[in-house]
């Protein structure tokens, strides 16, 4: 297996981008990544695109062909990969395999979602849950995560304020991210007093509806220095599935797929949580930011709340989490998120993250999940 490196990354602004279409967004991310990697479009050998549901959001399947065509890259092989909100993480992983196997040399793994072209995105988002046993019964994602939050509060004494702190810290970080959807500070009081969505989660516990795209360019590690002085190396790429329906879990205060994928990733990289300098976690709801640091092994089960309250996950804390602003404040265009996480880690490891830079960052991790944890993808990267 060949080692793989990242030589270029990109992200569009995330937000409600009324003036940009699906194809505009992905072309912009692609061109910026190509520029960042100091290559030409013709150098690309293959493309993977993470996208959850262009079919339901913009009436378009077969986006691989659309994107190759609209970007002027035909006859490049291009595949869409999908695992709900983990689609980006899977696009990254399959791009890595394409290079590692020797099938292709220079591969772009991208992610895109255009969510604001429908009046109500909720029915499309709900297709990431079990259609027959969850969605058709009226369950939506805020309510599923609300149940997980309630149970975590009961089992471990997690407080409402600790949950709110996940959002507060994300917004604190997003202020320094020019590509973030919501680069403004909020307070615990604001979170607690924002409109109720699914008790105990209020509006400011929830990631927004976003449009956006991101890209990562991969090549064999041995060639990386031809293109850049600051390659970032893939140390591990792991993925696991979990039950799609929440009621089938042994425990709803933990996401087993995160545990499986991260343990496999630590094993591949020969590392432990202590080796990780910063992590981008999948905090689609505040409770998920808290579960992530537990399930990734940064704190003991049940200790996520106190750890967050004590500032462990702040930029100057023991394990900086989501310096980008995370899904909550950077935004969450579903299929793009896993790739945007990788872009942030690359910027951090290169020392190019500006005011949100984590000093001395050498090893970073991304954690991308689909649904309530039916899929998890974990990557470890090093300078």
Positions 282 through 341 that interact with its own copies (CB under 8 A): none
DSSP of 275-301: G-SEEE---SBHHHHHHHHHHTTSS-T
Cβ distance 171 to 329 under 8 Å? yes
- The residue among 65 and 193 lying less far from its own copies, judged by its C-beta, is 65
Count the alpha carbons within 13 Å of 122 in the hemisphere toward its beta carbon.
10
Q: How far is the CB of 58 from its own copies (least distance, A)?
A: 7
Q: Is position 142 an interface residue for its own copies (rule: CB under 8 A)?
A: no
- The residue among 149 and 259 lying less far from its own copies, judged by its C-beta, is 259
Q: How far is the CB of 277 from its own copies (least distance, A)?
A: 25
DSSP of 304-328: HHHHHHTTTTSTTSSS-B-TT-HHH
Nearest to 307 by CA among 297, 299, 315: 299
CA angle 271, 321, 331 (to 5 degrees): 125
Q: How far is the CB of 4 from its own copies (least distance, A)?
A: 10
Binding to its own copies by CB under 8 A, coded x per residue (else -) over 218-257, reads -------------------xxxxxxxxx--x-------xx
Q: Is position 350 an interface residue for its own copies (rule: CB under 8 A)?
A: no
DSSP of 180-226: -S--S---HHHHHHSPEEETTEEGGGBPPP-EEEEEEEEEEGGGGGG
Cβ burial, residue 39 (10 Å; 0-12/13-18/19+)? buried
Q: What are the CA-CA distances from residue 319 to residues 79, 99, 173, 296 (Å)?
A: 35, 31, 14, 12
Q: In the set 112, 135, 198, 201, which binds its own copies (CB under 8 A)?
A: 135
Q: In the set 305, 323, 364, 374, which binds its own copies (CB under 8 A)?
A: 374
Q: Is position 198 an interface residue for its own copies (rule: CB under 8 A)?
A: no
Q: In the set 30, 320, 370, 381, which binds its own copies (CB under 8 A)?
A: 370
Residue linked to tokens 């990969």:
81
Q: In the set 69, 185, 267, 352, which binds its own copies (CB under 8 A)?
A: 69
Cis peptide before 244 (omega within 30 of 0): no
Nearest to 308 by CA among 190, 211, 167: 167
Q: How many CB atoms lie within 10 A of CB 184?
A: 10
Catalytic status, residue 104: no
Q: Is position 25 an interface residue for its own copies (rule: CB under 8 A)?
A: no
**Contact region with its own copies (CB under 8 A), list: 130-138, 182-190, 287-295, 359-367:** 130-138
Given 104, 260, 332, 379, which residue is catalytic? 332
Q: Is position 53 an interface residue for its own copies (rule: CB under 8 A)?
A: yes
Positions 74 through 103 that interact with its own copies (CB under 8 A): 74-84, 90, 93-94, 97-98, 100-103
Positions 176 through 195 that interact with its own copies (CB under 8 A): none
Q: How far is the CB of 348 from its own copies (least distance, A)?
A: 26
- How many residues bind to its own copies according to rule CB under 8 A? 66
Q: How many angstroms separate the CA atoms of 269 and 273, rounded?
A: 11
Interface residue list for its own copies (CB under 8 A): 1, 21, 52-53, 55-56, 58-66, 68-69, 73-84, 90, 93-94, 97-98, 100-103, 123-124, 127-132, 135-136, 237-245, 248, 256-257, 260-261, 370-371, 374-375
Which are the catalytic amino acids? 85, 332
């Amino acid at each position: 297996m060949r080692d793989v490196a990242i030589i270029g990354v990109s992200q569009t602004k995330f937000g409600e981008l009324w003036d940009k279409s699906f194809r505009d967004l992905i072309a912009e991310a692609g061109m910026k990544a190509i520029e960042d990697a100091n290559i030409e479009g013709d150098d690309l050998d293959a493309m993977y695109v993470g996208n959850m549901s262009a079919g339901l959001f913009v009436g378009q399947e077969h986006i691989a062909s659309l994107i190759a065509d609209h970007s002027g890259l035909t006859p490049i092989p291009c595949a869409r990969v999908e695992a709900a909100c983990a689609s980006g993480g899977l696009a990254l992983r399959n791009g890595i395999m394409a290079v590692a196997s020797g099938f292709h040399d220079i591969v772009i793994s991208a992610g895109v979602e255009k969510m604001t072209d429908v009046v109500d995105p909720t029915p499309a988002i709900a297709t990431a849950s079990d259609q027959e046993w969850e969605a058709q019964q009226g369950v939506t994602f805020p309510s599923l995560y609300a149940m997980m939050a309630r149970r975590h509060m009961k089992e471990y004494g997690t407080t409402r304020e600790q949950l709110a702190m996940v959002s507060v810290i994300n917004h604190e970080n997003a202020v320094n991210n020019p590509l973030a959807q919501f680069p403004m500070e909020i307070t615990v009081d604001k979170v607690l007093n924002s409109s109720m969505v699914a008790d105990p989660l209020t509006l400011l516990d929830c990631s927004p509806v976003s449009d956006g795209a991101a890209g990562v360019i991969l090549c064999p590690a041995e060639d990386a220095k031809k293109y850049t002085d600051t390659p970032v190396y893939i140390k591990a790429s792991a993925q696991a599935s979990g039950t799609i329906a929440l009621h089938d879990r042994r425990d709803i205060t933990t996401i087993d797929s995160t545990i499986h994928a991260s343990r496999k990733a630590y094993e591949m990289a020969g590392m432990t949580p202590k080796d990780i300098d910063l992590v981008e976690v999948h905090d689609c709801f505040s409770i998920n930011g808290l579960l992530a640091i537990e399930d990734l092994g940064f704190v003991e089960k049940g200790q996520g709340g106190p750890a967050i309250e004590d500032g462990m996950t702040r930029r100057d804390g023991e394990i900086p989490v989501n310096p980008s602003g995370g899904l909550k404040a950077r935004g969450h265009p579903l299929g793009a998120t896993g790739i945007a996480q990788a872009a942030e880690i690359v910027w951090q490891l290169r020392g190019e993250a500006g005011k949100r830079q984590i000093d001395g960052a050498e090893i970073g991790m991304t954690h991308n999940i689909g649904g309530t944890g039916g899929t998890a993808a974990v990557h470890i990267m090093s300078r």
